[in-house]
Each structure stands twice: as structure tokens, then as C-alpha cells.
Amino acid sequence: MKYIGNYKDWINSSWIEIILSMKGFGAPKDFNISLDIDSGQRSKMHESERKVYEIYGTDKIFFHLLESNCLNFQIDPPWLSEKFDWWITKMYPGQFIPIHSDGPKHLKGKRYWMPLQDWEPGHIFIYENISVSRYNAGDLWEYENSLAVHGAINIGHNPRLILQVSTFGES
């Protein structure tokens, strides 16, 4: 993970309230349905996602996904000038994202990871063999390898909110 800088001043505090108040998609359970949840339009589970969750159970909820089209605010990342996609992952205590590698659509682009709150013990992001910790809200990291194996866990005592941004190598 390559540290880019801190963008805490860019984070609008109302985003946190909105994210905490919305359910979003319960992943992977809600990936199995094509329903319009919270105004979102998530399609069925991708094949790569299905493989990740096969051993965990595709009918359970391990974390909450809030995609950009589910949320009533938009973001304009100051570090980007190219086309991007973004989403929020919300994990309550006890929730996790199994270790996985993102699909080939991320191969040409860049992947950015930004916590929206300060780190607390038990908020864990694993990237290959390292864990990212002691971060501050607004710290921005870039995946050095878009296909790196990664996963996340919340074994702390408060929800964990992460902004994720992807570019696709297109202007």
C-alpha cells in the first residue's frame, strides 16, 4: 500500500451520518437478488464474488456495501482527474470481508482506500501480508498492485467505514 496523503478536510461530516443511517446491500446475501434497495440498482452477484463467498455462505451478510448510486451525495476526489467509480464498505463489529483479489476489471486502473474515521483497535485491513493500522480519518492509500490479495475485519467495538475509489485506466 502506497500512502498518498491525508484528505480529512475534504470529508463532509454529513456523509458519515448518511452512511450510518443507511442499510445498503448486505453482502453477499443481497447480491443474489436484483432488487432496488435504498434506490440502488445492484445486479446479481458477480462470478468472482461468488467464488470468494462459496465457503462462507452466499446467503449470509458479512458486511454492508453502499454503492455510489445508492447514496444521496456525490464525491469529487481532489487527487483524481480521471473517470472513477466509488463505493463505501461498512462493517459492524464481528463483520469481515474474506481474503480475495479484485476482478480483472481493476487490472488497468488504480485502487484507492480511505478510512472515513480514525483507526481503532480491531479495525483491520489486510493487504498481502501486511495490516494497515494506526491511520487517521482521511488518510489515502493506493494499492501498489490492483490485483493484490486483501481482506478486512472489524473485531473492534464500533462500525468501520471505508471509502473505496477505482479508476479504470480511462480518461
Partner 1 sequence: MQYIGNFFDWIKPEWLDEVLNHPGFEMPKHSLRNEARFNPILKSYFDDVDRIISQEEYEKLIKDLDSMDANDKVVRHAKIHANYLDPSRELDEEYGMYHNAGYDVWADHFRLMEKFDVSFNILDYPPPFLDYEGKHITWWFSKMSPGHVMPMHIDKADPSVQIHKYWMPWTDYEKGHVFIVEDQAITNYKAGDVFMFINPGAWHGAVNIGHRPRAILQITDYKISRNIDLV
Residue ranges that bind partner 1, judged by CB under 8 A: 55-57, 62, 92-94, 96-99, 119, 121-122, 124, 126, 128-131, 133-134, 149, 151-153, 155-158
- Is the CB of 14 or the CB of 131 nearer to partner 1? 131
Q: Of 129, 128, 122, give the one whose Cα is nearest residue 154.
A: 122
Report in angstroms how near the CB of residue 127 gets to partner 1 at its nearest. Answer: 10
d(CA 94, CA 159): 10
Our CB check for partner 1 shows the closer of 26 and 77 to be 26
Nearer to partner 1, 94 or 104 (CB): 94
Which cell goes with 56? 462462507
Q: Which residues of 156-167 are buried (b: 16+ CB within 10 A; e: fewer)?
A: beebbbbbbbbb
AA identity, residue 151: G
Least CB distance to partner 1 at residue 12 (A): 26
- Reduced to 3 states (helix: H, G, I; strand: E, B; else coil), residue 27 is strand
CB of 152 to partner 1, least distance (A): 8
- We find the least distance from the C-beta atom of residue 159 to partner 1, in angstroms, to be 8
In residues, how long is the chain? 171
